Amino acid sequence: MKKFLKVFIICLIACCSIIFVGCKDKKDDLSQLGENLSNYYMEINYNDETKTLYAEQTLEYVNNSDALLKEIYLHLYVANFCNGASNSPIDDLHKAQAYPNGESYATLNIIRVQLNGKDIMPIYEGEDNDFMKVELIDPLEPTTSAKIYVEYSVTLPNISHRFGYVDNNVNLANFYPIACVYDDNGWSKNPYHSNGDPFYSEMANYYVNFSCSKDLICAFTGSVEEIADGDTKYYTINNMCVREFAIMLSKDFKTLSKTDNGINYTYYYLTDETPDKALQCAIDCINTFSTLYYQYPYACYNVVQSNFLYGGMEYPMLSLISDAIDNYDDYLNVIVHETAHQWWYSLVGNDQYSNPWLDEALTEFSTLLFYDNNQGYNLTHEGMINGMQENYNLFTSVYKDVLGEIDTSLTRNISEYPTSPEYTYCVYVKGTLMFDSLYQLVGKKQFLKAIKLYAQTYAYKISTPECLIACFEKSTKTNLENFFDCWINDKVIIN
């Protein structure tokens, strides 16, 4: 995600016809890579009149851990959008902006749950009942799978957010039950938080059938097969190896498409006098980061302009860009940022709740590398770093004046940053300054070699800060323990 802090800087935030949009996956063999992943099979109908959706989902969960699992947890993010939720997606600072028509809440109705074909009563956990625990009758051995069927309906809130609608814009992210991650610490059950992107998910395959009224134009994670029948449109979306699945809808979308280097790009926009520039920016990003980091493995990439209270938000093969950004250089910069997330969060995954800087700071630093490699844009690496440094110093001095001292450590999880500005300045700005300092320390050639190694080592996997540091140390043959310790643990003085 990318946020804007306007006070200090902009750095951050009946006849049937068949149309094929997108094409087969290329480069990496995603079919092969996806063979042992969990599979989501979804049937979703969206009713735009009532702003509701009805869905049936079967998750074929594959135990890819070494542990014997006695239960499977699913995260129900919609629960956090319901009235009275303790872990609301909105902090007080953004409430007025988020609810343009007054406070509005979601409803979530779990109609039926089955385990391996038999009805069960799941256990709901968490302060907001936002985790569904499915107890397994027989423990799940490594490499084996269990099928969890969930029938549910959802009412969307009228909110300018990842999940919700405003006017004719409907953003459908985090709307379905998604498996929690089982890692070295057991099941990860961190709740929603208004800071940043409190998400953590593993690669999986998604097989989705989606229907809605034909006047809606829909953008999805992935390549789509579309069939119109009467007043309804039916979409089939099959994605191998993605961390999640999102849909953006509007009656007002205009589209611009182009194929470049075998990848289909589509820009869905509401108002843009120069849509070709936004589309070309997305193409330049994918080409640049494919060269610098790792070949973009998917067949399509969609950039979607929609209503969103922050600057932008990343999803596999899809970036959401807010329609409220009034400066076009900033708008393009958000496209660059969100597209860089295709590598940092999407391809190389991480626990964004526990280590938010790992993907956000590297993503923001990637925007600087983008401008190094694409001179036709109005922003530069040097100009952005100077602006960040100046404004970070201003931020810390203001906070020190008010509070006497300030904690700028990056070891904290998302919920441990007291305010949204502190989160943003530490994770995005300080984190980017850290990567720039490392870039200056080891030099461009060594830095790019190390980051390529990191991408190649952890593509399709989950990374940790230790993984990143180890890659840099291995590649540069330099002990960087003190360097990262100083920056991450609040010991560095930035002048």
Pairing of strands 312-315, 318-322: antiparallel
Cβ 359 to Zn ion, closest distance in Å? 7
- CA dist 22 → 220, 224, 226, 246 (Å): 11, 6, 11, 16
Cβ 206 to Zn ion, closest distance in Å? 22
Backbone φ and ψ of 281, nearest 5°: -60, -45
Q: What six digits make up the tokens of 203?
A: 């690669």
Place of tokens 């509070």: 403
Q: Which amino acid appears at position 477 of this protein?
A: K
Cβ 424 to Zn ion, closest distance in Å? 10
Cβ 142 to Zn ion, closest distance in Å? 33
Nearer to Zn ion, 288 or 363 (CB): 363
Nearer to Zn ion, 108 or 361 (CB): 361
With vertex at residue 431, the alpha carbon angle to CA 425 and CA 434, rounded to the nearest 5 degrees, is: 130
Nearer to Zn ion, 3 or 75 (CB): 3
> Please, is 241 exposed, middle or buried when counting C-beta atoms within 10 Å of its C-beta (0-12, 13-18, 19+)?
buried
Nearer to Zn ion, 1 or 10 (CB): 1
Nearer to Zn ion, 1 or 455 (CB): 1
Nearby residues of 321 by Cβ (< 8 Å), 6 or more positions away: 278, 303, 304, 305, 306, 308, 311, 312, 331, 334, 335, 338
**Is the Cβ–Cβ distance between 210 and 286 less than 8 Å?**
no
**Is the Cβ–Cβ distance between 136 and 146 less than 8 Å?**
yes
Nearer to Zn ion, 245 or 423 (CB): 423
Report how far residue 294's alpha carbon sits from residue 451's, in angstroms, rounded to the nearest whole number: 10
Residue with nearest beta carbon to Zn ion: 1
Cβ 300 to Zn ion, closest distance in Å? 21
Cβ 360 to Zn ion, closest distance in Å? 5
Nearer to Zn ion, 99 or 435 (CB): 435
Report how far residue 81's alpha carbon sits from residue 161's, in angstroms, rounded to the nearest whole number: 10
Nearer to Zn ion, 79 or 388 (CB): 388
Report how far residue 465's alpha carbon sits from residue 461's, in angstroms, rounded to the nearest whole number: 13
With vertex at residue 79, the alpha carbon angle to CA 78 and CA 80, rounded to the nearest 5 degrees, is: 90
Which residues bind to Zn ion, rule: CB under 5 A? 1-2, 360, 363
DSSP state of 6: T
Cβ 414 to Zn ion, closest distance in Å? 13
Cβ 319 to Zn ion, closest distance in Å? 10
Cβ 149 to Zn ion, closest distance in Å? 34
Report how far residue 3's alpha carbon sits from residue 91's, in angstroms, rounded to the nearest whole number: 14
Nearer to Zn ion, 38 or 352 (CB): 352
